[in-house]
Structure 1
Amino acid sequence: MRRIAVLLPLLAIGVLAGCGGSSSSTAKPVVKVSGAFGQPPTIKIPAEKAGGSLTVKTLIHGTGPVLQRTDAFVGNYAIYIWSGTSHRLAQSSFTAHRPTLFAGQLLPGLETALIGQKMGSRVLAVIPPKDGFGTSGNPQAGVKPTDTLVFVVDMMKDFKANASATGTAESNGGKGLPTVTAVNGAAPTIKMPTSKPPATLVTRTLIKGSGPAVTKGQMVVAQYVGAIWSTGKVFDASWNRHQPFNFTIGATPTQVIAGWDKGLLGQTVGSRVMLVVPPADGYGKSGSPQAGIKGTDTLVFVVDVLGAFST
């Protein structure tokens, strides 16, 4: 459950919708890219005006799963803004050491470039305005209506819309804690007990994953359901959005409530974890009125840890 929404304007280039669309083509002038997968690419953009067609090139052919339209994936990217005969680097997760989760609706040109590619691929997409932000551009990101965008994307790991924990079942809760039931690939159901909630944070591993332990500073990909102990009401769930959620654990400033930072640290990838979060480790005395959470509410989360990536 995100406490602080962090969406930088330049990062939004990769996850906001534009308008229009066209098929992939090869056109001059030619953008040249070199470098190994996972390493910052060297990108050479000619000192001339960009062509008007969408250009897509698979620079490195991966051998992993094929990206489907409903999938999300973790990847690294570099973005250049090509304006007239000049260009500038807008943002690079390679140099920032921050892979990102590509989820939701992409720019039309970027979607065309990436759908059908295999994980492990490096893809170049030269996206003209009609396949990017259209006639409005994106002033917040410094993109004019006439600017062409150049993306180089390394596709690391895909996640299905219904991705869930994959480990060994250990518990379903109970014994004074909520009881959790679930079918693989579907949102868990949380049944609250009639007893009072615990006064301190409780972490219970329901499914033990076989992956590496989550460490501070990693970008974590997760599915979750959040409910209020006193009413049993579900106030948020990534499952309802049909895409996983990502955050950096232990970030400064924090990206999630303290109960997540504390309770998920050290959990292994593939695990399903129940977090019983008192107000002090949740939204504090102010609560979260927009979510229907009072300052006295204890929250219950069931979190599936799908992946953890070093930044």
Structure 2
Amino acid sequence: MKPTLLVRAVSSCVAVALLSIASFAFADDVSFGQNQLCGLQTTRPDHNAAVHVKTLQGRNGPIGYARFGHGTPLLLITGYRATLGEWNAYFLGELAKHHEVIVFDNRGVGRSTAVEGRYGPDYDMRDMAADAADVLAGLKLSRADVIGWSMGGMIAQRLALDAREQVASLTLIATAPPGPEAVPLTPAMQHVLSSSGADAFPKIMSALFPANAVADASKCFIGDMFAPRGYTGRPVSDAVAQQQDRAMTQWFANASAADALRRSPVRTLIVAGANDDVLADANARHLEQMIPRAKLDVVANAGHALMYQYPIALARHIEAFVSK
């Protein structure tokens, strides 16, 4: 090839590469506008006296759950040290306009606490995914759309691998893939999220929300939590928190799960906060590259707890995906 032609060819390749990079950087960016924290005047299911937490029997013990709404079933899996009460009530209410919504406590948490206070000496994402499958089986649901937030997104990925016939679609919010490509929580962040005492709440709020949303989040977070009548989430024991830590550590080392996800047939929506200080949005981009039928949306000015910052907008965004 003549030098002039070689230069032109290289220039063309560089231009195409730059265009691809630009498209990758901006095509999946979305904005939900102003924060929707505080003062929402819309339906929340926990104001309905008929909505309360029941238990069903899973293979490893009782599982606490709540079920409400009308439509196709939507199973939500919550995150690290969280009870089903940590979901934003307005987010759940918006989803319940089009779906039968099912929320439950992960093992060792809330009402999913065995009589002896534990579920065995060691368990991982696969075991917690089996619990999620038991919720569907106990409610006689053969299939559901599944939403997982944070650690719950890891459980949801495992569920899609182990019981794919039960997962109609997958929505992964502020979570991370398995294997060495993941960017784990830093030890400092893990310490903040597991902290307790008088100064724990402001630290956790600062971890979950961008700086410009922390003040409103601090005022409204507790009041906006899902609080069905008669339900109080028991404090998460140190033993359970440590076990969840170990489960996440194993997840970040699970290369075989990463390989399996690369062959997953499940239609997947990945939603990440551009300002997530807990699990960096680089995790979402790795997930997008890993899962064949994945769509990624990175939300501007959003932190880790997107369902509190944008409960209505996020619920509608998920509904648009699920209903396709």
TM over 0.5: no
TM-score by length of 1: 0.23
Structure number with higher relative contact order (C-alpha < 8 Å, ≥ 6 residues apart): 2
Indicate the structure with greater helix content: 2
